[in-house]
Amino acid sequence: MSLKLYNSLSSKKEIFKSISDKRVKTYGCGPTVYNHLHIGNYRTFVFYDLLNRVLQMNGYETETAVNITDIDDKIIDRVNHEKLSLKEITSKYESSFIELSESLKILPNSYNPKATDYVELMISHIQDLLNEDFAYVSNESVYFSVDKDQSYERFVNLKKDDMDFSDVNPDKKFIGDFVLWKSWTEKDGNIFWDSPWGKGRPAWHTECAVMIKDLFNGQIDIHCGGVDLKFPHHENECAQVEVLCKNFLSNYWLHAEHLTMDDIKMSKSLGNVINVSSLIEDYGYDVVRLFLLSAHYRTKVSFSQKKLEECKKMTEKINRFAKNFTSDIKSIDLKFSNEHDLFIDALNDDLNTPEAIGIFFSFISEMNKKIAKNSINDSDKEKSLVFLKLFNSIFDILDFGNLHNHKIPKEVQDLLVSRQESREKQDWKLSDSIRDKIESLGWYVEDTASGQKLLKKK
């Protein structure tokens, strides 16, 4: 199946066609570095990684950018509250973002541009908009005139009669106009840049537009973000770039749904957030990563410990299955069978991870039956190894190098011998109690046609 992606511009799945034959340019809206990011943020960032890996699975080279917003109202509030410098605040949380991304096996991006490195280019971009009469200066701030963009309302249908005019910014000509440059206020302190319109700083919508212009000449294949960014952020990005460049900013727009707590969006402002570091420490990166990928990216997911426990059992089952194979997985010739093709087709159907996971586990169950009967043949083993490698190229939860590197403690070895003796005597009650004891020590026992098999818990 050809790769199909749900395009927010058309509200339907479309066959993906890249601008270049084999190179795909993607941009994802990144973090605002004023605090530690929560698990809801990482649902979006793991989704970016999923898209990147599926594109690579289809033979594309990927050129990716995820920006770092290091100038923002919330950051300035943090600077004022903690009495630290802008750099001290943003460097701390940027490092945390990079480290946690690495922990969750998110592939490195080609670029992680920072807003503060682009201020001069943003000033030049805003001046271009002013020169072309797409923007205007008001009280030392600069605003974009949305009525100058004939394509405005790409993602939403605004009903101007329904707009609330009770709290209109008096500096705007129209309520829908958006700020490109914010004039300095006292709370900004010493955080400002000089511009032709006075001292101040670039606004959020300006940031991504300028980065895409600079890194990708104003045109990319795919733009990603959370569903809440469709409007106004992505609308306003498009408006700035497309009126100047006279081309589509992005051919495809993909938006991930929220991770919720009790059906409410997870948000630092609401205080209903879950710390990512703690989850990784308690469950392991693989469980957290599988949890984030277990639902379709366009489906809302409610966070729960129950779902994490289910994902923990799933990762343990995958690891137990992988330990049946000792061949060097790198040496296996990647010949795909029907099961592999079904897995690929699921991912190519708008990144359908739940279906892909279901196909993989059906395959595991089929092979486990053969393993239990000691009837698995060389062809089955090769198919299994190929499928494990294929699965891991996307989900990346297996560490093949450490699958078999576990020394069995003498206490566990002795219990295993005792259990075998009790089974030979058909003392099933004792056998089960020994099995429970072994599990409490961190090991699984599986009974196969060829005898007991011992596996290390994660």
CA neighbours closer than 13 Å in the CB half-sphere of residue 436: 6
pLDDT digits (tens, 9 = 90+) for 291-324: 999 999 999 999 989 999 999 999 999 999 998 8
> Between 160 and 10, whose confidence is greater?
10
Mean pLDDT over all residues of the chain? 90
Residue 430: predicted pLDDT: 87
In the predicted structure, residue 281 carries a pLDDT above the cut 60: yes
Supply the pLDDT for residue 331.
Answer: 46
Q: Is the pLDDT of residue 264 over 90?
A: no
- What percent of the chain has a predicted confidence (pLDDT) above 90? 71
Nearest Cα neighbor of 400 from 327, 350, 310 is 327
Q: Give the pLDDT band of residue 267 (cuts 50, 70, 90).
A: confident
What pLDDT is stored for residue 231 in this prediction? 93
443 pLDDT exceeds 80? no
Structure tokens at 288: 């957290």
Q: What average pLDDT does the segment 242-258 reach?
A: 96
What pLDDT does 404 receive?
54
Helix axes 285-293, 378-395, angle to 10 degrees: 80
Alpha helices in 158-304, H assignment, sequence order: 204-216, 235-245, 276-283, 285-293
- Summarize pLDDT for 84-138 with one digit per residue, the tens: 999 999 999 999 999 999 999 999 999 999 999 999 999 999 999 999 999 999 9
Q: Kindly tell me if the per-residue pLDDT of 401 is higher than 70.
A: no
Report how far apart, in Å, the C-alpha atoms of 180 and of each of 125, 253, 401 are.
Answer: 10, 22, 50
Residues 433-451: what's their mean pLDDT? 75
